[in-house]
């Protein structure tokens, strides 16, 4: 189970129709139903892996310490197995910045996960694109952001909780 962070696990901060990560641990809000969904996935044998783009560290909008504190809190609070983060700004020299599949492929190798038997759940076109590139089944959580839409996700839902029956049905 590959999951984006902001908008899937925790509430994204939406400004002008676009999602942004929380600016601090105090601003972090885990979305309703996430803990229950992750427990259910784990009970069915899924490994819960977060794959998140965090370019704000590189651009100086936040610090690595803040991002690490958010990840530490999520790992302590939720049944997550690992968090993979790309701190790059999108460009040709980075293979992990979604929609490229590098983070998913790295996690799959480390956790001995078959991507073809996995899901990628995300709230942006980049998440769906990375899942498709890694050959995962894709689930798009549609918040109606004012940005590019994903091309052909396998399923579209309103929350991770809404994705549960699809995922648990295989």
Q: Would you please indicate which residues are annotated as catalytic (active-site) residues?
A: 4, 6
C-beta separation of 128 from 104 below 8 A: no
| CA nearest neighbour of 34 among 143, 144, 159 | 159
Beta bridge partners of 80: none
* Helix residue ranges per DSSP H, 78-151: 102-111, 125-133
| DSSP single-letter state for residue 78 | S
Angle between the 125-133 and 102-111 helix axes, to the nearest 10 degrees?
Answer: 50
């Amino acid at each position: 189970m590959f999951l984006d962070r902001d908008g899937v696990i925790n509430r994204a901060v939406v400004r002008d129709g676009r999602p942004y990560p929380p600016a601090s641990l105090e601003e972090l809000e885990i979305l309703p139903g996430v803990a229950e969904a992750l427990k259910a996935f784990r009970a069915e044998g899924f490994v819960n892996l977060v794959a998140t783009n965090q370019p704000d560290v590189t651009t100086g909008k936040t610090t690595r310490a803040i991002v690490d504190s958010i990840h530490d809190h999520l790992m302590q609070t939720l049944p997550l197995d690992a968090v993979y983060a790309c701190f790059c700004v999108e460009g040709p020299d980075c293979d992990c910045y979604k929609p490229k599949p590098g983070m998913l492929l790295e996690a799959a190798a480390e956790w001995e996960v078959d991507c073809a038997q996995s899901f990628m759940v995300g709230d942006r076109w980049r998440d769906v694109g990375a899942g498709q590139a890694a050959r995962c089944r894709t689930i798009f959580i549609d918040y109606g952001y004012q940005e590019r839409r994903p091309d052909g996700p396998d399923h579209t839902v309103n929350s991770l909780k809404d994705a549960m029956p699809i995922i648990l049905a295989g």
